[in-house]
A and B are shown apart, each in its own frame.
Chain A
C-alpha cells in the first residue's frame, strides 16, 4: 500500500543552527499532514500540522512546508536547542478516513 517515508534516519546539528527534516509521501489523496516529536520514553507529541490547501505554516520556531507537486513535506526548526533532540515523525491522513499513517522517523541530535 501507499506509505509515508523519510529521507534521513539521523540528523546531527549544532546548537543554534537551523534544522530541516524531510519527508516524502506517496498518497496523492492525502490532504492533512502532521509533524510529531517523540522524546525518549514518551509518546509522540503534536508539533504542527498543515492542510493540502496550504504550502507553508509557521509556529513557534517551527515551520512546515508542503510541496504537493513532488509530494514532499519538511519541518524546519529555527535556532535548534538541546531540548529539540528527539525522533520526529511525519504523518498523513486523507479525507476518506480518520487514520494517520506514520513515516519511519528521523532522529535529531543537537550538539552543544
Chain B
C-alpha cells in the first residue's frame, strides 16, 4: 500500500483565493482525520470522519473551512477565502477501527500571502 496520499505537497496562494487540499486514505481504513500543524499551536485536529460521515468538526476554525468525504477513498479540505493566518502544514491521517493509532500522510504545506 502506498500509504496516505496527500496533494499538493506545497501550495502558495494569494489571500482571498480558494484552496483545496486532497487526501487518499489507506485502502480499508474507515476513519479519516485532518490535522493542522503550526509552530505556535502544534498538531490540532480539525475534523474526523468515520465511514465517510463527519463525526467531530469542533476543531474547524471557522466557516471558511469545510471538509468532505464523498467516498471511502477520497477527502477534501477547502478554505474559502484563504487568509495569511491559515498558513500551516495540513496533515491527513487514516486508521481502521478504534483500537490503534493513525497513519499520517506527508502533509500539504500551505502558504497564503
A residues with a Cβ closer than 8 A to B are 32, 34, 36, 41-46, 49, 89, 91, 95, 97-105
In the complex the two chains form, what is the Cα distance from A39 to B78 in whole Å?
A: 26
Mostly, the B contact residues are strand
Number of interface residues of B (CB under 8 A): 23
The A-contacting residues of B in range 37-81, CB under 8 angstroms, are: 42-43, 45, 48, 50, 55-56
Among candidates A43, A91, A99, A105, residue contacting B91 with C-beta atoms closer than 8 Å: A43
Residues of A within 8 A of B99 (CB): 32
CB nearest to A103 among chain B residues:
B42
In the complex the two chains form, what is the Cα distance from A34 to B106 in whole Å?
A: 19
Please state if A42 and B106 are interface contacts (CB–CB under 8 Å). yes
Please state if B43 and A99 are interface contacts (CB–CB under 8 Å). no
- For residue A30, give the distance in angstroms from its CB to the closest CB of chain B: 13
Please state if A100 and B102 are interface contacts (CB–CB under 8 Å). yes
Among candidates B48, B100, B105, B106, residue contacting A99 with C-beta atoms closer than 8 Å: B48
In the complex the two chains form, what is the Cα distance from A90 to B102 in whole Å?
A: 13
Among candidates B50, B105, B106, B107, residue contacting A98 with C-beta atoms closer than 8 Å: B50
Residues of A within 8 A of B91 (CB): 43-44
In the complex the two chains form, what is the Cα distance from A49 to B31 in whole Å?
A: 19
